[in-house]
Amino acid sequence: MEKDADGFYSPIADSAAPKEDDKAQPAPNSELIKSTFEVSVTLADQQGDPNSPLYSAKTFEELGLHQDLLKGIYDMGFSKPSKIQERALPLLLANPPTNMIGQSQSGTGKTAAFVLTMLSRVDFTKNKPQALCLAPSRELARQIMSVVVAMGKFTSVQTEYAIKDNLARDSGPVTAHIIVGTPGTMSDLMRKRIIDVSEIKVFVLDEADNMLDQDGLGDQTLRVKNMLPRDHPVQILLFSATFPDHVRSFASKFAPGANKIELKKEELSISGIRQFYMDCKNEDDKYDILVRLYALLTVGQSIIFCQHKHTADRISARMSAEGHKVASLHGAKDPAERDSIIDNFRDGREKVLITTNVIARGIDILQVNMVVNYDLPLMYERNSGGGGPGGAFDKPDIETYIHRIGRTGRFGRRGISINFVHDKRTWQQMDQIEKATGRKIMRIETNDIDEMEQKMKEALK
């Protein structure tokens, strides 16, 4: 079976496929919630709470960073390290270099830990690639690059992208120190020797469980690793908020002898994200409820996740036709369009983004205070007996759920997630998610608009 650009197997019927009578009907305005509250983006002082993943007993100065990098960190407005930064950085920067498997909840600052390591290990006098970083989407690669550039502002770091359409096929060898990209393009450029790997010292996988998963990007990532030099050690860093059991042992082989920072199952999701569900009557009702939520979705910014790109396109086309301003983003759009959509959303020019799992991981936009799982994230289960030949998308994808809701509640902020459930199957799937994450998912009435607004107000306080 072929996987599409969003990493899904494609020949699965979209349960929310358009129906003949599905033509856009303007939603009565009376149904729209009038938003009467402001978003309070209060950054609770969790950096002083020893139980918080943002807590640290140390300062950045104590972590052994170069003066130029400290300047970059403070210039970004960071004052104290988070727990993962405090614990990981001394291990990451120690000599001889040791591999690392680092796990920490979404939005707790893993990026800074690996970016500071790359910047610390580069010899700026040599114009050759010395650190490679892979991410599962171009959007995340671009975001990581912005952190490299910001943290390296007071160094002479040179950077380059290994993402689709960035380098011409006949480009000369890349002389940049740090290259950030997606695995397919990275391996392509390495094979063509546009990227010379002879001086590579650090190899980072962000969203490592996804990058190593054989049902995901595993093959492409392995191809990159197999092209790395063998005449000197390369420090391998794997970071993610999740490391499911089936990836964990492979991760240990991929990064042998790694220092490990791990989370317990009950620590996986963030307490600042309040989780809700709405009991929808059927597929069509999901759409109507989303439209009714529109005013709340635009109080801050929100991301609506669908299982399929055609669902994302269909909902956004219908909402736009009804006069609501929304954008849609998925892997079938061309790279330039993807860049402009995410940039518009990042800059707040768009408030509602309807998307697929393509941006479920890593994307850090602090103003996002609401995530809607229009469709719950599902994984392909072979031989589940639930439909297609040999398997079906029946099982909830717990890791993707944790990453999706983690697009809100970043670095101590508050956020809301809402799951739409509409039949017995989706109920059961949500029940499994609740059990696996150990966090209560509260009901919100769909027909009591005041209650809906009140609950959200409280959750964001």
Interface residues with ligand ATP (CB under 6 A) are: 78, 80-82, 85, 104, 106-112, 241, 362, 364, 366, 406, 410-411
Half-sphere exposure in the Cβ direction for 134 (13 Å, CA): 25
Residues 6+ apart with CB under 8 A from 77: none
Which amino acid, 221?
T
**Looking at beta carbons only, is 42 or 198 nearer to ligand ATP?**
42
**Looking at beta carbons only, is 277 or 411 nearer to ligand ATP?**
411
- Neighbour tally for 170: CB within 10 Å: 7
Taking the complex as a whole, the smallest distance from the CB of residue 177 to ligand ATP amounts, in Å, to: 21
- Neighbour tally for 360: CB within 10 Å: 28
Closest CA to 232 of 142, 97, 93, 39: 97
Taking the complex as a whole, the smallest distance from the CB of residue 292 to ligand ATP amounts, in Å, to: 29
**Looking at beta carbons only, is 86 or 313 nearer to ligand ATP?**
86
Taking the complex as a whole, the smallest distance from the CB of residue 346 to ligand ATP amounts, in Å, to: 11
Question: How far is Cα 429 from Cα 235, in angstroms, rounded to an integer?
Answer: 39
| Residue entry with tokens 């809906």 | 452
CB 309 within 8 A of CB 316: no
Q: What are phi and psi of 373, to 5 degrees?
A: -90, 85
Taking the complex as a whole, the smallest distance from the CB of residue 205 to ligand ATP amounts, in Å, to: 12
**Looking at beta carbons only, is 59 or 198 nearer to ligand ATP?**
59
Please give the C-alpha separations between residue 105 and each of 198, 207, 284, in angstroms, as whole numbers.
34, 12, 34
**Looking at beta carbons only, is 9 or 78 nearer to ligand ATP?**
78
In the chain, what is the greatest distance between 2 CA atoms, to the nearest angstrom? 69
303 class by beta-carbon count within 10 Å (0-12 exposed, 13-18 middle, 19+ buried): buried
Taking the complex as a whole, the smallest distance from the CB of residue 78 to ligand ATP amounts, in Å, to: 4
**The sheet that has 327-329: what strands, in order across it?**
327-329, 352-355, 301-305, 368-373, 415-421, 273-279, 442-444
**Looking at beta carbons only, is 406 or 415 nearer to ligand ATP?**
406
Taking the complex as a whole, the smallest distance from the CB of residue 56 to ligand ATP amounts, in Å, to: 8
Question: How far is Cα 359 from Cα 407, in angstroms, rounded to an integer?
Answer: 9
Taking the complex as a whole, the smallest distance from the CB of residue 342 to ligand ATP amounts, in Å, to: 14
**Looking at beta carbons only, is 153 or 457 nearer to ligand ATP?**
153
Q: What are phi and psi of 361, to 5 degrees?
A: -115, 135
Taking the complex as a whole, the smallest distance from the CB of residue 75 to ligand ATP amounts, in Å, to: 12
**Looking at beta carbons only, is 72 or 129 nearer to ligand ATP?**
72
Taking the complex as a whole, the smallest distance from the CB of residue 208 to ligand ATP amounts, in Å, to: 11
- Give the 3-state secondary structure of residue 47: helix
What sign results for the dihedral spanned by CA atoms 328, 332, 333, 339?
Answer: positive
Half-sphere exposure in the Cβ direction for 351 (13 Å, CA): 13
| Two tokens, residue 123 | 């010899």
Q: What b/e readout covers 229-253, taking b as 16+ CB neighbours within 10 angstroms?
A: eeeeebbbbbbbbbbeeebeebbbe
- Neighbour tally for 154: CB within 10 Å: 16
**Looking at beta carbons only, is 363 or 433 nearer to ligand ATP?**
363
Taking the complex as a whole, the smallest distance from the CB of residue 82 to ligand ATP amounts, in Å, to: 5
**Looking at beta carbons only, is 83 or 286 nearer to ligand ATP?**
83
Taking the complex as a whole, the smallest distance from the CB of residue 411 to ligand ATP amounts, in Å, to: 3
**Looking at beta carbons only, is 114 or 393 nearer to ligand ATP?**
114
**H-helix or E-strand spanning residue 159:** strand 159-162
CB 237 within 8 A of CB 204: yes
